[in-house]
Structure 1
Amino acid sequence: MSEFRKINRLLQTESSVSPGADDEDIAIFASYLSKVENLVVVVSDMARNTSRIYCGKFADSLGLKDYTTENSIWEKAILDLMPEEERDEKYRAELRFFHYLRHLPREGRPNYYLASRLRFTTGKGIMTDVLHRMHYVYADNGESIRYAICTYGPLTAGFSGRSVVVSSLTGVSEELTSTTEILSSREIQILRLIDSGKKTAEIAGMLSVSPHTVNRHRQNIIGKLQAKNSVEACSLAKALQLM
């Protein structure tokens, strides 16, 4: 399963709420943001599986014209400006960000956003660096993602990272890499053994622990990665470059 299919499935699964009454507020916010900061702002509605695009002046340099809607949560015309490997890196960063947030208390998740440096090829064939930021807006239950708000603008001076998670309260940032703690070292060790085809009893013997402990770690891994089973957990861990 590709990185795109993984993050797409996770986002679709997360959105279990019905369309709300805050659409107009979000639209006004996105429209003003695009005008004030000259950004391209994409509001992806998880409940409706649609996106609205608000093009500030930066859209002109990307060659985007009359781009206002998508019948998907993914902004295809923008993604098509990136080479395939760049899109894969974007999806991988969003996967890591998604799982990073899952480890935080519900009330703290809205206080973080993802910032990434992406390479675009403009309509004139010119390569340019773009700063992509992504915020999740949660439903009242604090669990389901209601909207994803993405902004695209020129890369700001001093941004040296590739993909970082930023606290909007403190400004502290953390690089999102394969070593960002999603699974413990013991869980990665067990997952490697599972991926190699080892059975629970074999793993227990190799690590000198009980089968119950191995199964407990297995369930923790599946839960942390929001996977359906061990096979999918192994696939997700590889996509996240955890092993």
Structure 2
Amino acid sequence: MVRNNHFAESRKTLDNLLRSENGADSCVPLWDIMVNMRFWARVENVLIVVSDMVEGKSHIIAGGFARNLDIGDYQQENSIWESKILSLMSQEEQEEKYIAELRFFHYLRHLPKSKRADYYLMSKLRFRFADGGIHDVLHRMYYIFDDNVEDLRYAICIYGPLPFDFKGKSFAVNSVRGIKEELTASGNDSILSRRERQILAMIDTGMKSAEIAGQLNISIHTVSRHRQEIIGKLQVKNTHEACRLAKSMDLF
């Protein structure tokens, strides 16, 4: 049950973050994206999912790799989550995927806007194929922003075979400079500050705001401000949900 709670919390938080970033318009029309992705899928034989953050829909383009997955005539879903593809992973694997995407989102948030389009997420996933075997899959995810790089308009996920193994699980890759940075708990400062993680850990033990303020020698007002910032950054309803999500992400 605890694992299920963490899983749901991770996906819910990511959904809130992605959908809250969207704008109503974009200079990049969906049809233009789809033309390019169909060509990409044909050239690389990959399975591509284009998620429209404004419309809340996903469009699936099946290259040759999709024949391994037995997903049938899967072309569209009224969600930003490609459920048939996600169902090919264990729940633990899905949660790791969501957490990697959360880390990548916050990683981009701390970059200059002019540099955000230089990066994509690269992850190693495990899928159950139609033959019943478990196989490694290479997952790449790209974000397409509006002209001002203010709002997220599309997320593009690309699935294909893993041609060679690599150490680590998920990386932020700079496609201009050819460098990568592993997304692990060591990057927690990009999500919550050290003080915010410290306060959240104390909340998790059951401490009240007055007790936290006394132990840290700060005002109750400062503790309350940190609580609200934590809730906002993690896109949750309360500190109880924040503690559950933070533990699943190894924030403390």
Fold equivalence (TM over 0.5): yes
Write the distance in 1 (CA, Å) between the matches of 2:25 and 2:204: 38
Write the distance in 2 (CA, Å) between the matches of 1:64 and 1:218: 43
TM-superposed deviation, 1:116: 0.8
Q: What corresponds to 2:53 in structure 1?
A: 46
User: Which of 44-53 and 165-174 deviates more?
Assistant: 165-174
Contact 1:45 1:73 (8 Å CA) reproduced: yes
* Aligned AA (1:224): K
Q: How does 1:1-243 map to 2 (within 5 A)?
A: 2=8, 3-18=10-25, 22-181=29-188, 182-243=191-252
TM-superposed deviation, 1:160: 2.3
* Aligned AA (2:48): V
* Aligned AA (2:211): E
Runs of at least 5 residues in structure 1 that lack an aligned partner in the other structure: none
Q: TM-score normalised to the size of structure 1?
A: 0.90
TM-superposed deviation, 1:64: 3.4
Write the distance in 2 (CA, Å) between the matches of 1:100 and 1:227: 19
Aligned-partner SS, 2:153: strand
Contact 1:17 1:139 (8 Å CA) reproduced: no
User: Which of 115-124 and 201-210 deviates more?
Assistant: 201-210
Note the alpha carbon deviations across 1:78-111, whole angstroms, 9 max, x for none: 1121122211211121122222222223332222
TM-superposed deviation, 1:189: 0.9
Write the distance in 2 (CA, Å) between the matches of 1:101 and 1:213: 27
Aligned-partner SS, 2:186: coil
TM-superposed deviation, 1:29: 1.2
Write the distance in 2 (CA, Å) between the matches of 1:218 and 1:197: 14
Q: TM-score normalised to the size of structure 2?
A: 0.87
Aligned-partner SS, 2:230: helix
* Aligned AA (1:201): A
Runs of at least 5 residues in structure 2 that lack an aligned partner in the other structure: none
| Cα 1:21/1:190, change in 2 over 3 Å | closer
| Segments of 4+ moved more than 6 angstroms | none
| Cα 1:14/1:199, change in 2 over 3 Å | same
Contact 1:116 1:163 (8 Å CA) reproduced: yes
Aligned-partner SS, 1:180: helix
User: Which of 60-69 and 227-236 deviates more?
Assistant: 227-236
Note the alpha carbon deviations across 1:160-188, whole angstroms, 9 max, x for none: 22111111222221111223232232221
| Cα 1:227/1:142, change in 2 over 3 Å | farther
* Aligned AA (2:184): T
User: Which of 127-136 and 85-94 deviates more?
Assistant: 85-94
The RMSD of aligned alpha carbons is 2.1
TM-superposed deviation, 1:228: 4.4
TM-superposed deviation, 1:212: 4.2
* Aligned AA (2:51): S
